[in-house]
């Protein structure tokens, strides 16, 4: 293999722009004490990584309307009805006044979650409509003071959660509030639907100080330990987002904060990543993540939305998320009366038993180490691989890619029936019974003589001989991380020094000469940082060029690799020097087959 190295590449014409007062309550909640002293990030995430499955609850005055107001129907999501039908604030306040959820029973709700296998609930303490579903002292616009109900459902839920061993968590819409004249979102009465950089800062920050922050302080002070605060719809500035992170951690250091706390266009903040709604990353995310998903098409109750997911789909979604290393936050939309729709109960009653039978393969596991598997999914715990067979093999034999450990046994998780297993060349082969043992998916256990050592996923060339090395099959070392952000998409980042690298195994079966192109985003802080890329025994040394912002990706040619022979190569990229800021936000390194090498105009070493 011969290498032509291009340093100092400034041919921007080549570049492709790809993307363009807190008051505390006297009464104590039995069994709940405020969180103890500061803990580190890993400890903080421990319960969340173990939990895997949570219940989202969207419930508020909008639940009474069920998608219709004054004879007018709206399109999903039903919790947006005030905004979509431009309901005047006074009319909506009148509607909120009538909220009387006589059917609400905190224990029933928490048991529904528990019996479905869920380990935490996240309930809308205040959604975008601005109405607090708990007894707030900050604003009388809350379920206790504003209605005849005179109960605090969140207090009742926090008590029931503590009794049932479920983590109690709250959703709080911090930027959006259609009731408050200073908040974002109401464009029909307050003209407050601002652009990202153009907004009335003074008016907005007054809202934050007089409503959003004091209400959050109440929630974090009066409701016992809060597992996590689920913010939504982002923030304007980084500082405003960080204020909320610090507010939460200042009162309850162990409480997690989701990534929607900050501006979606800026560097990610918060303790874990929320994907987009119903988002399913194809895999490969290292920074811990959670996918919020609907059970039908709406979040808040909508009487006309009957597009319920089947229990089989819910189970498959759970497995697919867990096998990709994330959490599944599945939503329910109770009615205004507090009744939970029959279809929801029915689906949950079928999901729960499967999860209970296969609990060992879900909770506390880590992601599939093989990358995608043609026949199903995999999770890992200790010395065990859990194999979820989506497509029962015709020949009765399940092929698992190379596992370097010795297999001590293979069996069905359901009843521990032993299965014949052999390790042949690069594969482990398990003989399966003729029929699926469980529905909708059977789980097999492969017990090994130690923690699993498997071949890393291999990047292969496509039909034309190109190979794209991206976040999906990367092995990250040190602080390097595969991340997701609404604006920046999937990328590799968080690397600040030579110990933080990204690595791939590249399989070459179509030899030849290749041009190497790197696709990344870099802001001013990353400009000029030196880095190197190694392909097998060849090293390319270059430095980072400014692309505009951390989510503005550009493609840059790095150099040519001549006569790359068939075989497996390790490709590694790392910063050459230590610093405070990230090297870059890397999307991919691509090898493109070329017939000739264009040397003119390039700084060739
Ligand atoms: C979207 C919706 C919001 C809902 C949220 C849940 O942001 O606008 O109503 O609460 O998704 O993820």
Q: What does the pLDDT read at residue 38?
A: 58
* Closest atom, ligand 1, to C-alpha of 77: 9
Closest CA to 120 of 21, 255, 285: 255
% pLDDT > 90, the chain: 82
Residue 6 CA, ligand 1 centroid: distance in Å: 47
Q: Among 277, 327, 486, which residue has the most ligand 1 atoms within 8 Å of its CB, making it the best to mutate?
A: 277
Q: How far apart are CA 538 and CA 560, in angstroms?
A: 11
Pairing outcome for strands 501-508 and 475-477: antiparallel
Q: How far apart are CA 139 and CA 150, in angstroms?
A: 15
Residue 61 CA, ligand 1 centroid: distance in Å: 16
Task: Assign 4 a pLDDT band (cuts: 50, 70, 90).
Answer: very low
**What does the pLDDT average to over 215-228?**
97
Query: Residue 268: is its pLDDT beyond 90?
Result: no
Residue 232 CA, ligand 1 centroid: distance in Å: 7
Which superfamily is assigned to 43-360 in CATH? Glycosidases (3.20.20.80)
Q: What does the pLDDT read at residue 195?
A: 85
Closest CA to 526 of 503, 501, 495: 495
Residue 4 CA, ligand 1 centroid: distance in Å: 50
List pLDDT tens digits, range 86-124: 999 999 999 999 999 999 999 999 999 999 999 999 999
Provide Rg for the chain, Cα atoms. 26
**Hey, do 43-360 and 458-594 end up sharing a CATH topology, with the first three levels equal?**
no
Q: What does the pLDDT read at residue 11?
A: 31
- The owner of tokens 């929801």 is 344
Task: Assign 37 a pLDDT band (cuts: 50, 70, 90).
Answer: low
Query: Residue 18: is its pLDDT beyond 70?
Result: no
Domain positions in the chain are 43-360, 376-448, 458-594
Residue 156 CA, ligand 1 centroid: distance in Å: 24
List pLDDT tens digits, range 300-336: 999 999 999 999 999 999 999 999 999 999 999 999 9
List pLDDT tens digits, range 376-425: 999 999 999 999 999 899 999 999 998 999 999 999 999 999 999 999 98
* Closest atom, ligand 1, to C-alpha of 124: 10
List pLDDT tens digits, range 195-210: 877 899 999 999 999 9
Q: Among 124, 177, 232, 274, which residue has the most ligand 1 atoms within 8 Å of its CB, making it the best to mutate?
A: 232
Task: Assign 19 a pLDDT band (cuts: 50, 70, 90).
Answer: very low
Residue 595: Cβ-neighbour burial (10 angstroms; 0-12, 13-18, 19+): exposed
* Closest atom, ligand 1, to C-alpha of 300: 9
Q: How far apart are CA 427 and CA 162, in angstroms?
A: 47
Helices vs. strands in the chain: H and E counts, helices first: 11, 31
**What does the pLDDT average to over 269-288?**
89
Q: How far apart are CA 438 and CA 414, in angstroms?
A: 7
Averaged pLDDT score across all residues of the chain: 91
Which pTM does this prediction carry?
A: 0.90
Q: What does the pLDDT read at residue 56?
A: 98
Q: What does the pLDDT read at residue 267?
A: 78
Domain 458-594, CATH number (from 3.30.420.10, 1.10.4030.10, 2.60.120.260, 3.30.300.20): 2.60.120.260
Task: Assign 84 a pLDDT band (cuts: 50, 70, 90).
Answer: very high
Residue 130 CA, ligand 1 centroid: distance in Å: 14
User: Count of residues for the chain?
Assistant: 605
List pLDDT tens digits, range 465-510: 999 999 999 999 999 999 888 788 899 999 999 999 999 999 999 9
Residue ranges lining ligand 1, Cβ < 6 Å: 58, 77, 79-80, 232-233, 277, 292, 299
Q: Which two tokens stand for residue 391?
A: 């497509």
Task: Assign 265 a pLDDT band (cuts: 50, 70, 90).
Answer: confident
Which superfamily is assigned to 376-448 in CATH? Golgi alpha-mannosidase II (2.60.40.1180)
Residue 293 CA, ligand 1 centroid: distance in Å: 10
* Closest atom, ligand 1, to C-alpha of 128: 9
């Amino acid at each position: 293999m011969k290498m032509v190295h291009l340093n100092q590449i400034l041919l921007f014409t080549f570049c492709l722009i790809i993307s363009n007062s807190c008051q505390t309550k006297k009464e104590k909640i039995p069994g709940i004490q405020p969180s103890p002293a500061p803990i580190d990030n890993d400890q903080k995430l421990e319960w969340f990584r173990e939990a895997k499955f949570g219940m989202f609850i969207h419930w508020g005055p909008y639940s009474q309307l069920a998608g219709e107001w004054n004879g007018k129907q709206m399109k999903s999501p039903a919790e947006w009805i005030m905004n979509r039908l431009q309901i005047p604030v006074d009319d909506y306040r009148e509607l909120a006044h009538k909220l009387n959820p006589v059917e609400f029973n905190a224990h029933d709700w928490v048991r529904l979650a528990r019996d479905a296998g869920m380990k935490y609930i996240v309930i809308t303490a205040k959604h975008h409509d601005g109405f607090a579903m708990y007894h707030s002292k900050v604003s009388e616009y809350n379920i206790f003071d504003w209605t005849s109900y005179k109960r605090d459902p969140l207090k009742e839920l926090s008590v029931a959660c503590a009794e049932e061993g479920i983590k109690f968590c709250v959703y709080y819409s911090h930027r959006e509030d259609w009731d408050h004249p200073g908040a974002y979102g109401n464009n029909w009465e307050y003209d407050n639907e601002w652009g990202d950089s153009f907004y009335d800062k003074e008016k907005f920050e007054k809202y934050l100080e007089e409503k959003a922050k004091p209400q959050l302080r109440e929630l974090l002070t009066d409701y016992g330990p809060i597992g996590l605060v689920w913010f939504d719809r982002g923030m304007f500035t980084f500082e405003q987002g960080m204020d909320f992170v610090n507010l939460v951690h200042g009162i309850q250091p162990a409480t997690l904060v989701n990534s929607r706390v900050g501006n979606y266009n800026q560097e990610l903040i918060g303790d874990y990543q929320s994907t987009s709604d119903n988002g399913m990353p194809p895999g490969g995310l290292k920074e811990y993540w959670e996918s919020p998903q609907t059970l039908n098409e709406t979040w808040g109750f909508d009487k006309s939305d009957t597009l319920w997911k089947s229990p089989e789909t819910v189970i498959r979604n759970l497995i697919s998320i867990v096998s990709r290393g994330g959490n599944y936050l599945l939503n329910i939309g109770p009615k205004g009366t507090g009744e939970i729709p029959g279809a929801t109960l029915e689906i949950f009653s079928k999901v729960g038993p499967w999860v209970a039978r296969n609990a060992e393969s879900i909770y506390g596991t880590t992601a599939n180490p093989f990358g995608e598997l043609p026949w199903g999914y995999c999770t890992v715990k200790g010395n065990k691989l859990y194999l979820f067979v989506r497509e029962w093999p015709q020949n009765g034999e399940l092929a698992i890619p190379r596992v370097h450990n010795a297999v001590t046994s293979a069996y069905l998780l359901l009843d521990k029936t032993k299965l014949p297993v052999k390790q042949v060349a690069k594969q482990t082969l398990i003989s399966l019974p003729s029929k699926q043992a469980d529905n909708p998916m059977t789980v097999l256990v492969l017990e090994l003589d130690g923690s699993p050592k498997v071949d890393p996923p291999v990047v292969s060339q496509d039909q034309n001989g190109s190979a794209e090395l991206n976040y999906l099959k990367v092995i990250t070392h040190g602080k390097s991380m595969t991340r997701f952000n609404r604006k920046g998409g999937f990328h590799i980042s968080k690397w600040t020094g030579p110990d933080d690298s990204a690595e791939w195994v590249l399989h070459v079966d179509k030899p030849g000469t290749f041009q190497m192109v790197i696709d990344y985003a870099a802001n001013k802080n990353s400009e000029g940082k030196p880095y190197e890329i190694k392909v097998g025994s060849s090293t390319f040394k270059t430095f980072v060029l400014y692309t505009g912002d951390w989510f503005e990706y550009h493609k840059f040619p790095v150099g040519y690799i001549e006569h790359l022979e068939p075989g497996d190569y390790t490709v590694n990229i790392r910063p050459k020097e230590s610093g405070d800021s990230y090297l870059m936000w890397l999307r991919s390194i691509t090898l493109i087959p070329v017939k000739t090498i264009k040397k003119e105009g390039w700084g060739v070493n």
